[in-house]
Chain A
Amino acid sequence: MEYHLQTPLKIEDIKKLNAGDIVYISGEILTARDEAHARILEMKEKGEELPFSLTGAVIYHCGPLMQKTGNGEKEEWKVVSAGPTTSGRMSKMTPPLLKAHEVRAIIGKGGMKGVSDALKNRCVYLAYTGGCAALAAELIKEVKTVHWLDLGMPEAVWVLRVQEFGPLIVGIDAKGKDIFAEVREKAEKVYEGMQK
């Protein structure tokens, strides 16, 4: 099945998705990788409020390459290249993040380990083709704003407006089905068979 979704995402939007479905997303998405995840969790712990909302949000595991145009008050950012980063690095921080905030979709590449329980009934993992950064940049229509630039360009939280962002493959659905885990299990079985 193919779905075209609009952000902010509602719980019904994602519950109907099955692992293997193709999804395109339009609206706002936020980039976050290692450092941003760590800071989001830290702020939760301290009871501080985030400068952005994660309710119904789509988090994109991406450390984009951006270019500043204009200067002074008129400075603007342009996306040069913005493909997905390896989601595996965020595996440990994702369950507490999902507990603290109503994030409805995570976009990344390579899958994540041990998160399908945390995703159940609340969030989906969408795989975007790794390295396809020029293609992604085409689908990002506007850089709305940036938070936490002190973390550096790749680690900052970029708020982006996207249109028909995809094709995204549902890698882990909200029922707990995980394509990456299944592929891995199969590969391990093939490997065991080779040892006989």
Chain B
Amino acid sequence: MSSKLNRETFIRSIADLLRKAEIELPDDVVETLRKAEAREEKPVAKSQLRAILKNIELAKNHGVPMCQDTGIMIFFVELGTELQPGFDLEAAIREAAVLATREIPLRPNAVDPLTRKNSGDNTGAGIPDIHWKLVPGKELRVTVAPKGAGSENMSALRMLNPTETGSIKNFVLETVINAGGMPCPPLTLGIGIGGSFDKAARLAKEALLEPLDTPMNEFEKEILEAVNALGIGCMGLGGSTTALAVHVKTAHCHTASLPVAINIQCWANRHASVVFGGEE
């Protein structure tokens, strides 16, 4: 493949990527949900997990979005410094968002924050949200994560005191209790610690892109165990499956600061990636 991109092909691929993300969950997510269903003993919780697995299958077979909240579009773009796109990538991504909204179709969710006027096509000021990262090489990797509001609304950020590292776990537990069944558990928790006010939030969101079968460290396991001990369960109806995984990402921060962000993800941990370019 040439290191030059074709604009039309790019737009088509991004619209197809959105379709994939909305209709099909990554294998690691489905597998983790299956294991949770097999492990769960409470009949009500089991019935919820069964409905989720059936829904995943139906969405895939019928080619329809698995959730009516098709989310707002969040893109993570890794752009190789040796690649010459030759066109405005951001404008092309916006065009793909409009195309996907019409084609799949997607629910138009993007509204002006104050007038609440809906743009009708999932674009608007700052939306889709695009995170850019320059990387060495000639590849362009685009990941999209459509994020629904049920789980996003229950997310939280707190600026802790530097000596309060011991209360990070409590902050997570309080956030999960407060969320209850609203964010559609079983959850995945992305936790960002350090950086700055905004960086912690971005780290938390990036943590949600980690495959669910990525081994957790002791700190992550400790938080997961405590969260599941709360007994909130699938959809807040009780049971042992409140969260499937906890992933923490850290960054150095100011000595006088300890930002902690918790990004809550529902069971529908939707994301998909595509790579362009590479060797000529």
Is there contact, CB below 8 Å, between A63 and B107? yes
Chain A positions 178 through 194: 1 when the CB is less than 8 Å from some CB of chain B, otherwise 0 = 01101110111011001
Is there contact, CB below 8 Å, between B64 and A80? yes
Is there contact, CB below 8 Å, between B70 and A183? no
The stretch from A5-13, A46-54, A132-140 touching chain B is A132-140
Q: How far is the CA of A74 from the CA of B257 in the complex (A)?
A: 62
Q: How far is the CA of A93 from the CA of B100 in the complex (A)?
A: 35
Contacts of B237 in A (CB 8 A): 127, 169, 171, 179-180, 183
Is there contact, CB below 8 Å, between B184 and A65? no
Is there contact, CB below 8 Å, between A135 and B266? no
The SS class assigned to the B binding surface is: loop
- Tell whether B216 is near chain A: CB-to-CB under 8 Å: no
The stretch from B12-20, B48-56, B90-98 touching chain A is B48-56
Is there contact, CB below 8 Å, between B52 and A111? no
Among A65, A81, A133, A135, max chain B CB count under 10 A is at A81
Chain A positions 70 through 101: 1 when the CB is less than 8 Å from some CB of chain B, otherwise 0 = 00000000001111011010000000000000
Q: How far is the CA of A35 from the CA of B177 in the complex (A)?
A: 27
What's the least CB distance linking B199 to chain A, in Å? 28
- Tell whether A114 is near chain B: CB-to-CB under 8 Å: no
What's the least CB distance linking A39 to chain B, in Å? 14
Is there contact, CB below 8 Å, between A169 and B150? no
Interface residues contributed by chain B, number (CB under 8 Å)? 49
Chain B residue nearest in CB terms to A138: B58
- Tell whether B267 is near chain A: CB-to-CB under 8 Å: yes
Cβ < 8 Å to A, chain B residues 63-111: 64-70, 105-109
Is there contact, CB below 8 Å, between B181 and A191? no
Q: How far is the CA of A88 from the CA of B59 in the complex (A)?
A: 26
Chain B residue nearest in CB terms to A166: B51
Cβ < 8 Å to B, chain A residues 129-155: 129-138, 152-154
Contacts of A195 in B (CB 8 A): 170
Is there contact, CB below 8 Å, between A169 and B44? yes
Knowing A67-B105, A131-B267, say if A184 contacts B66 (CB, 8 Å).
no
What's the least CB distance linking A89 to chain B, in Å? 9
- Tell whether B278 is near chain A: CB-to-CB under 8 Å: no
Cβ-neighbour of A85 out of B52, B62, B150, B230 (below 8 A): B150
Is there contact, CB below 8 Å, between A180 and B181? yes
Cβ-neighbour of B68 out of A62, A187, A191, A194 (below 8 A): A62
20 contacts between A and B (CB under 8 A): A80-B64, A83-B69, A86-B149, A109-B150, A110-B180, A110-B235, A129-B51, A129-B55, A130-B267, A132-B52, A132-B67, A133-B68, A134-B55, A135-B55, A138-B58, A153-B107, A167-B47, A171-B237, A187-B177, A191-B174
B interface list, Cβ under 8 A from A: 44, 47-48, 51-52, 54-55, 58-59, 62, 64-70, 105-109, 118, 148-150, 153, 170, 173-174, 177, 180-184, 226, 229-233, 235-238, 266-268
Instruction: Give 7 nearest A-B pairs by CB, closest first.
Output: A130-B184, A110-B182, A134-B59, A132-B55, A187-B230, A133-B68, A129-B51
